[in-house]
């Protein structure tokens, strides 16, 4: 799902600050994925739920986050403190989820860096199994011979993986170095800030599409590509009715659009006050879906090619078994159709021969150990997760002409997408913290990267891939759903949908469609509540586990997490959601200031900045509304969760030529902090 997630999110720009919407990557699967893997065996059944949930959840809530950030001009913490102080914990939970995702996401960038540098050689190092010399005898590595060259390179040469999550095996120094490089690049990019990102925006946005287009053209020319694409668009109604498919589709929508991470709010807070974020939300969502389909076409064209190769290999192996049975008289020559030629055996001939043998040897057929070698089965069991990018695609590229070139382009694209995604993830951490606590940006960013690198060593030990699976599947999925539901409730039911729509009308210059009113008020929260319930039930009913690579068997085996890992898994979920009830309780009992009498806004004149803080409520109203207190509508009593009905919007532009807010200082074009 790594590749699906990366490519699926191509359309979401990490330049939300700009009104020039060029597609780039803000988030992943998750890897990067989405946390739960999409079932590649039922893509036809998956696309319909994904499109439905994109319309009723994705677009409305993406528009909501863009509008809230652009309107209030604060990071995710400040926004929810303003909208509803008692739900101010939403912003802190978003930061924690971003931290969890960033910890393992950068590890995947490290993997891509490793493969990128390994691609500069011919033949590619994963194209053939290594040869071991035992004195004068040369033998193929047993683990590689039982699996495949690409699978062996991934599990043994790259990860040097242990047999289970309980076996640490020590650090993998190659991946540790790659992780250090990845965090260094991310730290430098975030410290330089959003002003410099425009210089590389065209490349980072368009380069992945160029690579995708090249891969699509090359993929369509491969033998068997059409089989994969037909499989992609073949609907399976039984799968479409599976609640698990809908839950995974919703998770993919959250990750593809970056909902709940806080990055969308952070970037949109840099937009101009009159920017048409309604158009941006619709356009980005459409491009996102288009890119999802394009990326999936590329994936299934390659998987169709790979499935044909594996199916032919299956036919050859089973044909050798049949020849052995013929030579030992286990099978009679009469069972073989006269037109079958074992030296040029086709899949059709083997299928015919297989059916004849199965019919005649019905009682003892299972003892023969013959496989049906159906292309459909090969497509259904296509690898998922990290294996899609690092096993399936690498294997397909070994069959391409000039394979090192394609490999370099592919992993350069993944690195480009991953870094764009990490910048968005880091923005979800740095922007709200810097806005809220006024810490120096450079020091805080460097400290975050150093801390994340040392914690990330957990993922580069020999068992690290299993921890990546745990974090990918459980650290963000359920917390994100809870965060997005509460965001929806805070705006639609506490702040007030009608008031929010009125303020959007003032900000945009036109009234958004009533479609959004009904989605925010009823449909979206209802659907997300159902999805949350399904996630909790699944977590309680189905024991969480992971696919472990067993060296002796050279195969994957599904194992359940041990008790200590289950405790860690539950801790991740609790820690991510804990700030929400903690802040609610503290503010309900007035143990924590709700921030209604404080405001910190940065103004500048030339290079000079002026911070206004600890203002009385009337002074704050005057500064925000550019009016004296007597001219401004009085705010709501006790808590400034939202301004009362009929009141002037909190960021209404004024006619003062010196700035939008009528202050003697020129308002900074960015919010309180700079990325």
Q: Are 230 and 375 in contact (CB under 8 A)?
A: no
Closest by alpha carbon to 50, among 63, 34, 66, 64? 34
Closest by alpha carbon to 1, among 570, 412, 469? 469
What are the helix (H) ranges across 193-257? 194-197, 201-220, 225-232, 237-240, 243-257
Beta bridge partners of 612: 601
Tokens of residue 241, six digits: 């009715």
Distance separating alpha carbons of residues 64 and 72, to the nearest angstrom? 12
How far is residue 97 CA from its own chain's centroid?
Answer: 12
Q: Does 417 appear as a known binding residue? A: yes
Closest by alpha carbon to 102, among 361, 461, 418, 537? 418
Q: Are 484 and 64 in contact (CB under 8 A)?
A: no
Q: Does 288 appear as a known binding residue? A: yes
Beta bridge partners of 137: 134
- First-to-last CA distance in the chain? 30
Distance separating alpha carbons of residues 160 and 494, to the nearest angstrom? 52
Whether the bond into 298 is cis, omega within 30 of 0: no
Distance separating alpha carbons of residues 458 and 425, to the nearest angstrom? 20
Q: Within 13 Å and on the Cβ side, how many CA atoms surround 406?
A: 22
Q: Does 93 appear as a known binding residue? A: no
Distance separating alpha carbons of residues 297 and 319, to the nearest angstrom? 33
Q: Within 13 Å and on the Cβ side, how many CA atoms surround 349?
A: 17
Going by the annotation, the residues of the binding site are 288, 417, 421
Going by the annotation, the residues of the binding site for Na(+) are 288, 417, 421
């Amino acid at each position: 799902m790594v590749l699906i997630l990366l490519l699926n999110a191509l359309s979401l720009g990490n330049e939300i600050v700009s009104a020039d919407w060029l597609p780039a990557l803000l988030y992943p699967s998750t890897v990067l994925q989405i946390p739960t893997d999409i079932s590649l065996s039922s893509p036809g059944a998956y696309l319909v739920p994904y499109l439905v949930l994109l319309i009723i959840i994705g677009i409305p809530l993406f528009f909501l986050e863009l509008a809230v950030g652009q309107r209030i001009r604060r990071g995710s913490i400040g926004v929810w403190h303003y909208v509803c102080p008692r739900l101010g914990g939403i912003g802190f939970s978003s930061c924690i989820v971003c931290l969890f995702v960033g910890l393992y996401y950068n590890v995947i960038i490290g993997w891509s860096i490793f493969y990128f540098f390994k691609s500069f050689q011919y033949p590619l190092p994963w194209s053939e199994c290594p040869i071991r010399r035992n004195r004068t005898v040369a033998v193929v590595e047993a683990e590689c011979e039982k699996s495949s060259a690409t699978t062996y390179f991934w599990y043994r040469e790259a990860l040097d993986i242990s047999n289970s999550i309980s076996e640490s095996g020590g650090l993998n120094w190659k991946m540790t170095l790659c992780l250090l490089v990845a965090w260094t690049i991310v730290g430098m990019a975030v410290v330089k800030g959003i002003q410099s990102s425009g210089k590389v925006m065209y490349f980072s946005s368009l380069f992945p599409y160029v690579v995708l287009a090249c891969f699509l053209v090359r993929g369509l020319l491969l033998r068997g590509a059409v089989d994969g694409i037909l499989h992609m668009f073949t609907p399976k109604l039984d799968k479409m009715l599976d609640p698990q498919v809908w839950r995974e589709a919703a998770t993919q929508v959250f990750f593809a659009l970056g909902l709940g991470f806080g990055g969308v709010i952070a970037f949109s807070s840099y937009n101009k006050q009159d920017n048409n974020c309604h158009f941006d939300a619709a356009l980005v969502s459409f491009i996102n879906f288009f890119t999802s389909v394009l990326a999936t076409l590329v994936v299934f064209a390659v998987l169709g090619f790979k499935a044909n190769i594996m199916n032919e290999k299956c036919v050859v192996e089973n044909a050798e078994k049949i020849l052995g049975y013929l030579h030992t008289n286990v099978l009679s020559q009469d069972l073989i159709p006269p037109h079958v030629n074992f030296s040029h055996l086709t899949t059709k001939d083997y299928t015919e021969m297989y059916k004849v043998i199965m019919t005649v040897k019905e009682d003892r057929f299972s003892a023969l150990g013959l496989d049906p070698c159906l292309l459909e089965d090969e497509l259904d069991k296509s690898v998922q997760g990290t294996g899609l990018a690092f096993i399936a695609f690498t294997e397909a590229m070994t069959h391409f002409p000039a394979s090192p070139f394609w490999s370099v382009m592919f992993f350069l694209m993944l690195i480009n997408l991953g870094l764009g995604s990490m910048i968005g993830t880091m923005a979800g951490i740095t922007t709200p913290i810097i806005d809220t606590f006024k810490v120096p940006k450079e020091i805080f960013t460097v400290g975050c990267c150093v801390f994340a690198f040392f914690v990330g060593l957990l993922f580069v030990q020999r068992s690290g891939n299993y921890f990546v699976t745990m974090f990918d599947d459980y650290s963000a999925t359920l917390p994100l759903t809870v965060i997005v539901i509460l965001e929806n409730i805070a705006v639609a039911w506490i702040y007030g949908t009608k008031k929010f729509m009125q303020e959007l009308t003032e900000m945009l210059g036109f009234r958004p469609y009533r479609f959004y009113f009904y989605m925010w008020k009823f449909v979206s929260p209802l659907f997300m509540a159902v999805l949350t319930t399904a996630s909790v039930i699944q977590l309680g009913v189905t024991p969480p586990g992971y696919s472990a690579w067993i060296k002796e068997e050279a195969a994957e085996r599904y194992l359940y997490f041990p008790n200590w890992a289950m405790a860690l898994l539950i801790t991740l979920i609790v820690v991510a959601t804990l700030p929400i009830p903690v802040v609610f309780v503290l503010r309900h009992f007035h143990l924590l200031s709700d921030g209604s009498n404080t405001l910190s806004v940065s103004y500048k004149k030339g290079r000079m900045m002026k911070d206004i803080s600890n203002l009385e409520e009337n002074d704050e109203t005057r500064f925000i509304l550019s009016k004296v207190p007597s001219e401004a509508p009085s705010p709501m009593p006790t808590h400034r969760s939202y301004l009362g009905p009929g009141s002037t919007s909190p960021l209404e532009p004024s006619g003062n030529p010196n700035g939008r807010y009528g202050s003697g200082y020129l308002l900074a074009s960015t919010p309180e902090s700079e990325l």
